[in-house]
Amino acid sequence: MEQDLRTFEEICREHGLKITPQRTAIYQELLKSNAHPSAIMIHQRIKKYYPNVSLDTVNRTLITFAEIGLVRIVEGRGDPKRFDPNPRPHHHFRCIRCGKIVDFYNEEYDALEIPAELKEKFLIISKRVNLEGICDSCRNSR
């Protein structure tokens, strides 16, 4: 986590962002979670330490983090934005019942070819596979 915080500080400085205690706390809470938390989840945790921080501030901060490449936004159909601090190339599985999002790594998915017609029309900067289904917990709770 210490290395992650140094990277956080470097990227913030590169983009002219002040390193405030609130921003640092938001990023630390994001790193602690492997659940791809939403701004609401982070806000609930942060307000224990910073009771005056608003949900809007947390949300705007997370979106800024995404814009400067600190995190990625993971969205499901109509769900609130969820945030992922994992910088390594990876993919996601999302449970359609409970909403859990799990990272997974797969070299074959990493190597998927982008169709020629898309390469001609667009500048592709990243690719991710998002799988949806029912997780073991939900499947076993029937």
Tell me, what's the pLDDT at 7? 92
Which CATH number fits the domain that encloses residue 12?
1.10.10.10
Whether residue 60 contacts residue 40, with contact meaning beta carbons closer than 8 Å, is answered with no
On whether both 25 and 57 belong to a single domain, the answer is yes
On whether both 98 and 135 belong to a single domain, the answer is yes
Whether residue 50 contacts residue 43, with contact meaning beta carbons closer than 8 Å, is answered with no
Tell me, what's the pLDDT at 78? 66
Condensed to tens digits (0 to 9), the pLDDT of residues 16-46 reads: 999 999 999 999 999 998 889 999 999 999 9
Of 84, 102, 120, the position where a domain reaches its end is 84
Condensed to tens digits (0 to 9), the pLDDT of residues 86-142 reads: 888 899 999 989 889 999 999 999 999 999 999 999 999 888 899 999 999 999 986
Tell me, what's the pLDDT at 126? 84
On whether both 96 and 75 belong to a single domain, the answer is no
On whether both 76 and 11 belong to a single domain, the answer is yes
On whether both 78 and 23 belong to a single domain, the answer is yes
Helix axes 21-32, 2-14, angle to 10 degrees: 130
Instruction: Bin 130: left if φ > 0, else alpha if -120 < ψ < 50, else beta.
Output: beta
Tell me, what's the pLDDT at 55? 96
On whether both 73 and 116 belong to a single domain, the answer is no
Look up the domain containing 19 and give its range: 2-84
